[in-house]
Amino acid sequence: MELIPLILITAGIVQALRKTLDIKEQLPQWDRVLSAIWIVSIGYFLLTLLPGMGFLADWYGKIVMLLLFITFYLLRHQRSTRLFILAVLPYAAIFAINTLLSIVVPGFFEDNRGYFNTAKEFSNLWLIGFGIYAFTQVNKERKQRKKEEEQLRQAEARKAETGAPRGGAHYGTDYPKRRTGKNPG
C-alpha cells in the first residue's frame, strides 16, 4: 500500500508543476496527458492489485519521473524550467549510475551498497530541497511578471484616456530640424 501516498504526492506535484510552469499555455497537448495522471494512477494502482502484477508498484515512481523529465525537456527553453532541471539532475544521474552498476557489476555494487545508498539519499534530499526552492523562486518570478504586466496595462490605459499618441511618437517630432547655417562637413 506504499503506492497510495506516492500517487497522492505525485498528483499534487504534477498539478503544481502544471500551474507553475504554465504548461497549459506552453504545451496544450502535453498538458492533457499530465492532467489525467491521477486517473491513470488509479488504474495503475488497481493493476498492481492483480495477482502477479505487484512488481509494477516499483515502476510507478520511475514512470512518473520519466514523465517529469520529458516535461522539463520539452520546456527546456524556459528560464524557469532550468531551476527544476537543476533539482532533478542529481537524482537522475545517481539513479542512472546505480542502475547501470547494479546490472553491469552487481558484485561491486553490492560490496559498496552503503556508498551508493548515501549518494541516493543525498540526491533525494537535493531533489526535495532544491525542488522547493525552484517552486518558490518560479512562483515569485511569475507574480512579479504579472505585477509588471498589470502596471504596463494600466499605463497603456492611462495613455489611451489622456489621448497621448501610441507607440512612443511625440508631438512635434515629425518636423524637420532647423538649420543653423553652419556647414556640417
Please name which of 93, 114, 115, 96 lies closest in space to residue 104, comparing C-alpha atoms. Answer: 96
Q: Which domain holds residue 32?
A: 1-75
69 touches 34 (CB < 8 A): no
Lowest mean pLDDT among 25-29, 134-138, 148-152, 179-183: 179-183
6 touches 43 (CB < 8 A): no
- Look up the pTM and report it: 0.68
Q: Tell how far CA 85 is from the center of its chain.
A: 7
Asked if residue 107 belongs to a domain, the reply is: yes
Q: What pLDDT score was predicted for residue 114?
A: 92
Domain total of the chain: 2
Together in a domain, 84 and 34: no
pLDDT tens-place string over residues 123-165: 999 989 998 998 898 889 888 888 998 999 988 888 888 875 5
Together in a domain, 25 and 38: yes
Together in a domain, 150 and 85: yes
Together in a domain, 93 and 160: yes
Q: What pLDDT score was predicted for residue 53?
A: 82
What is the chain's percent helix, strand, coil content, to nearest 5?
Answer: 80, 0, 20
Last residue of one domain, picked from the residues 52, 75, 98: 75
Whether 118 has a pLDDT exceeding 90, the answer reads yes
